[in-house]
Amino acid sequence: MRKNGSRTNYKFVLTIAALTLPISAVFDTSTIFMNKTTWYIGAIVVTCIVIIGAVFDMLGMAAAAARETPFHAMASKRVYGARKAISIVRNAEKVSSVCSDVIGDIAGVLSGAGALAVSVQLLATIHGSGWMGETVKIGITAIITALTVGGKAIGKTIAIHSPTPIILFAARVWETAVLVVRRGIPWRKSKSKS
């Protein structure tokens, strides 16, 4: 029985490593995109990356902190999303790893890279150089780092104190997305036949 558990862990670790590459590529594409845009568009993209990182970190922490009991009560009353929430809590280690370690950490790293791209674009706009240029780069990077760390700290605090509504909301979003995808597939098939 122990062997089977370790095989599952190795499979999961390899899966996570394989997932990290495309997720990182998607996030990294946004930083490449920032090199081609104005600084304020880049600032919006970096802010979105910071928010995504904080939200997924919060979700990972909530999955680890949540208990199954309230979701069983909700499932018995047929509350939408309760069964998926039970699944999330039962797989808390995996959910936490994907949300916090993969998406959250990648977002954190790329927000720093994005901050540098934004500072370069801002300096090009205001024609800054020398000590002023270095001060702007350091200032923007420091602000983004503070927002990233602060956002994650706030999210984790909320997740520890209120994991049940966070997990239920995530489960509802997941189930709604699955329903939308499933309903879209027959529509695509019938359209392709005609």
Convert the pLDDT of each residue in 65-100 to its tens digit. 999 999 999 999 999 999 999 999 999 988 998 898
112 close to 146: Cβ distance less than 8 angstroms: no
Condensed to tens digits (0 to 9), the pLDDT of residues 135-168 reads 888 898 899 999 999 999 999 999 999 999 999 9
Give the global pTM.
0.78
**Confidence tier at 6 by pLDDT (50, 70, 90):** low
Q: Which of 98, 57, 79, 69 is nearest to 171 (CA)?
A: 79
Q: What is the pLDDT of residue 194?
A: 46
Question: What range does the domain containing 7 cover?
Answer: 2-193
Q: What is the pLDDT of residue 191?
A: 53
Residue with tokens 């104190």, as numbered in its chain: 161
Q: What is the pLDDT of residue 183?
A: 82
Residue 190 has pLDDT above 70, yes or no: no
Q: What is the pLDDT of residue 27?
A: 67
Tokens of 77: 């009353």
Q: How many other C-beta atoms are found inside a 10 Å radius of the C-beta of residue 33?
A: 14
Tally of structural domains, the chain: 1
In whole angstroms, give the CA distance from residue 49 to residue 91: 25
Here the contacts of 166-169 (C-beta below 8 Å, separation 24 or greater) are 166/58, 166/59, 166/62, 166/66, 167/59, 167/62, 167/63, 167/66, 167/71, 167/85, 167/88, 167/89, 168/71, 168/74, 168/79, 168/81, 168/82, 168/85, 169/81
